[in-house]
A and B are shown apart, each in its own frame.
Chain A
Amino acid sequence: SQELEQSPQSLIVQEGKNLTINCTSSKTLYGLYWYKQKYGEGLIFLMMLQKGGEEKSHEKITAKLDEKKQQSSLHITASQPSHAGIYLCGADIGSTNAGKSTFGDGTTLTVKP
């Protein structure tokens, strides 16, 4: 989506290394979601951020929302092979959630043992 850009498109890291994925909107964000997807499978919800400056963590994954920059980052600490997959950011752009979120094109993460 051009309204929601993810970077990088793909990432290959050595097990144990940290990494960051970014998601940037060209318009005002009303909610930002991170999902993980294994190839050929459905989407697993990771985190939802709604307020500027909000930061949430789950196990070794931390997500932050910078409202001024209209950007969110997803940081994985000490990556493991189980972190491999496609990470998608989704956002409510222009209005609050009404089932019409916009999604980025995804970041494919490979973790080498």
Chain B
Amino acid sequence: NAGVTQTPKFQVLKTGQSMTLQCAQDMNHEYMSWYRQDPGMGLRLIHYSVGAGITDQGEVPNGYNVSRSTTEDFPLRLLSAAPSQTSVYFCASSSSYTEQFFGPGTRLTVL
């Protein structure tokens, strides 16, 4: 059981570049989420999904897209990277009435 996996662990982008952060879980959880963590600001929800084919916006969705074609995978796409998107990104999965299981995070720097 790998739990929640994220790739890459580190990434440096130039302003305007696009990229996809990968997230996968092998626990058959219906819920998956993406958060960003900035210094002193805890975790802020970007997008979340309650099942395959269903996604919704969180608190800070602008500049990001998601899709959920399978239960296991929930990639996060940065359409045109901006320095304000420099952050640590965490993917999480859960089932009803359980805690969220978090991946190890992706540290993104946008120059």
Residues of A within 8 A of B (CB): 1, 6, 9, 31, 33, 35, 40-43, 45, 48, 50, 88, 90, 96-106
Contacts and interface: CB of A to CB of B under 8 A. Distances in A.
Interface string B72-106: 00000000000000000010111011111111110
A8 to B, nearest CB: 13
Given A98-B48, A99-B93, A100-B58, A105 B41 contact: yes
Given A42-B104, A43-B102, A88 B42 contact: yes
Question: In terms of DSSP, what is the predominant structure of the interface of chain B?
Answer: strand
Interface of B: 31-33, 35, 40-45, 48-50, 56, 58, 90, 92-94, 96-105, 107
A90 B43 contact: yes
Nearest to A37: B37
A99 B94 contact: yes
A1 B92 CA distance: 18
A64 to B, nearest CB: 17
Contact of A100 (B41, B42, B45, B102): B45
